[in-house]
Every structure is written in C-alpha cells, then in structure tokens.
Structure 1
Amino acid sequence: MAPVKNVCVYCGSGFGGDPAFAEAAAALGRSLAEAGLGLVYGGGNVGLMGTVAQAVLDAGGHVTGIIPDFLKSRERMLDAIQETIVVGDMHTRKRLMFERSDAFVALPGGIGTLEELVEQLTWAQLGQHKKPILLLSIADFWTPLLTLLDHMRDQGFIREGLELNYLVAKDAAEVIGLLQSQSAETSPEAEAFVAERF
C-alpha cells in the first residue's frame, strides 16, 4: 500500500448555486494541508478551484497547479502557489495531474470536472491504476451520476470483471481518512498506459 502524499482535486471553475460547495472546497483544502498532503489541481484562481487552492495555502500546505497556456487568462492563474506548470494542451495537463497524484477527489463542477472524473474511473476499471477515487457529494451533487452508474450495472454495461471502484463522501471531513484507508500502489502498467494514451 503506497501512502497518499498528493491529492488531485477536480472541481468547478465557478462556485455553483449552493454556498455549501465553496464551504466544502475550503474545508477540503484546510484538511489536506493539516494532514501534510499536497494539492494538485488545475492552476486557476476562480470558483471552487481557487477556493480549495487558497485554503491549502492559507493552512501552510503545498500546491501544484497545472494549466494549459490557453486557459491562463480565463482561469486567472493563482500566482501564490509553490509550483505552476504551464502546458500546451489539455491532454498534457491531465497526464501530469495523473502522474503527480496518489488519489483523486471530485468536488462539484461542470462538464470538465465530470470528464476528468470519468476518465480516472475508466482507467481504474481497465486495471491501469489503483489510486483511490472519491466523489465528494456535497448536498447530494453526485447522486444523479451514481444513479446513472447503477442504471449501467442494471443494464449489463458495468459487469463482472469491469466493476468500478470509487468512494463517496458527503462531508469534507471524511475525505482524508477514506483516501488513506483505500490507498494502493499504482499498477506497473499505469505509466505505460498513460504514455500511450497521450
């Protein structure tokens, strides 16, 4: 079992319609820093992205932001973070976020957050990594997705040998403990798979 040292957080570049989302982002950021875990995220200073990163910084933690060049102005890079990596495209961003992280957490967000989350679920389903994946379902945000996954199982598309392995929490305070309890070494095939994928 490999320890979790850096956590990738996927989340919205907006705040959403419920103040609880930003509260959870801030609480998650504080808890990461207090546990001595680094944050890997999309590099922006807007919405929940900026909230979680600023909370890590305010609590004395380490932040790595990875952002494509074309999003630097739109997502307003957070200059105060310790490490900013500017890349040429989204594929490189996602590859580096994967490589730099030992676990993944999805806060509420939009289609980009969903796409990043589902990609990690897919890679894990195909046996390409065993890093913990957690859906932080604040105010039941991820319940429709969980219902869809149940529907896919019922219809035979998620079947024996293709099970999904993910965690669900409804409170940011639960996240660190759940990730640490489920941490596992990345399979040897993971880096090769990602290199081929991108």
Structure 2
Amino acid sequence: MGLAICVFCASSSKIDPRHVELAGRVGAEIARRGHSLVSGGGTVSCMGAVARGARDGGARTVGVIPEGLLAYEIADQASEELIVTPDMRSRKGEMDRRSDAFLVLPGGIGTLEELFEIWTARTLGMHEKQLVILDPTGVYDPLRELMVRLTDEGFARPKIFDAIGWTASLDEAFDLLERSPVRIEPTPEDYVEAEP
C-alpha cells in the first residue's frame, strides 16, 4: 500500500508557470508510484495542479481547506474527500494527521510556515515522517544558506539536516520519501548551555 503524501506548495497565481508545471508532474508521480495525495484543498495555482495531476493518474486525493479560504483558494470539490476546517491551525493538524510523508515545493510564507512546523517537530523527535524539499530552480537556496548560518552560529543543531531531504530531482525526491526515516531524538545536550 502506498504512502499518503502531503504536498505543501503555492496557491498564488502570480508565479512562474514552471512551478505550476512541476506541481502537476509531482501529482502524476504520486499516482505513478501508487501513493495518494493530501493537499491544501484548493484548485488554484500549484495546489490545484498537484491535485489534478494525481487524480488524472488515478491517485486518491484528500483536500483540507479552512472555511475562510473557500472563496480564495476555490475548494477542490473533485477531491475524493474534502475536509473544511475552522482555521489554518486545524488545517495543518488535519493534514499532518492524514499524512505519512511531506513534500515541499517552492511557495510563499504559508508554505514556509508549513515546512517549519513539520521540520521542527521532526527535529524534536515528535514524528518520524519523511520530509523532503523539491526545489529544481533554487528558490530555497537562500533558506538553506540561512539554516547553515543558524547552525554555524549555534542557533540550530546540525541534526536539523538529518531531519530533511533537499533535492532538485523529482525522482530523488520520491526515492527519499519512500525510504525508512532515520529516528531523530533530542538529547539533553541540545538544551544544556555550554560552560564558558
């Protein structure tokens, strides 16, 4: 039985069409590999493209959308299951609960919020679900550099990079998602100040 893969991605219509095309390819690959999709439940931009790509290939799709965004993101009524939540926090919780793995595509602050919540929980050992960023155009390169800087400055532990896969390749992204995740557990040293 396949994985329920949650895809975090853009809902903005003012982006390079390459990103929408990538989302459609991701949806098709979810179907080709026998997985199902959990998405943000909208029909616009990348969010809609990934769901259509998955459905066109025969994959099951579950959409989760907050009531307040029904008009803006235009609810994906074609989903096998469309869940309307009261707010964004419950949306993320429902998507998390229904997913076995997470794939992050280029997106805006909403996508970053979703990424960081799942990444933080993974780093703290609160779940063992695979988390992968697929970024063939280098949109997230500055973010990666920032995370290296934060690690170098001691604000983050090097193990944060054990909690995530980062690739420009569609095939590699899915290979990473399908691997058994490495168990990451915080240690007391993560929270103890070094002696001066």
Structure 2 length-normalised TM = 0.87
The aligned amino acid for 2:52 is: Q
Question: Among residues 38, 43, 59, which one is paired with 2:36 in the alignment?
Answer: 38
The aligned amino acid for 2:138 is: D
Question: Among residues 84, 87, 93, which one is paired with 2:85 in the alignment?
Answer: 87
The residue aligned with 1:193 is none
Check the 8 A contact 1:16/1:109 in 2, yes or no: no
Question: Among residues 125, 136, 140, which one is paired with 1:138 in the alignment?
Answer: 136
1:103-182 paired onto structure 2 within 5 Å:
103-159=101-157, 165-182=163-180
Check the 8 A contact 1:121/1:164 in 2, yes or no: no
Please report how far the alpha carbon of residue 46 of structure 1 lies from its aligned counterpart in structure 2 after TM superposition.
Answer: 0.4
Please report how far the alpha carbon of residue 175 of structure 1 lies from its aligned counterpart in structure 2 after TM superposition.
Answer: 2.0
Structure 2 counterpart SS, 1:104: strand
The aligned amino acid for 2:35 is: L
> Percent identity of the aligned residues?
38
Residue 61 (structure 1) aligned with residue 56 (structure 2) = no
Rounded to whole Å, the distance in 2 between the matches of 1:52 and 1:105 is: 11
Change (3 A) 1:186 1:94: farther
Structure 1 runs not aligned, ≥5 long: 188-198
Structure 2 runs not aligned, ≥5 long: 186-196
Rounded to whole Å, the distance in 2 between the matches of 1:25 and 1:46 is: 11
Change (3 A) 1:117 1:27: same
Structure 1 length-normalised TM = 0.87
The aligned amino acid for 1:33 is: A
Aligned residues: 185
With a CA cutoff of 8 Å and minimum separation of 6, indicate the structure with the bigger relative contact order: 1
Q: Deviations over 1:2-57 (max 9, x none)?
A: x8610000000025543321221111100001111110010000010001001001
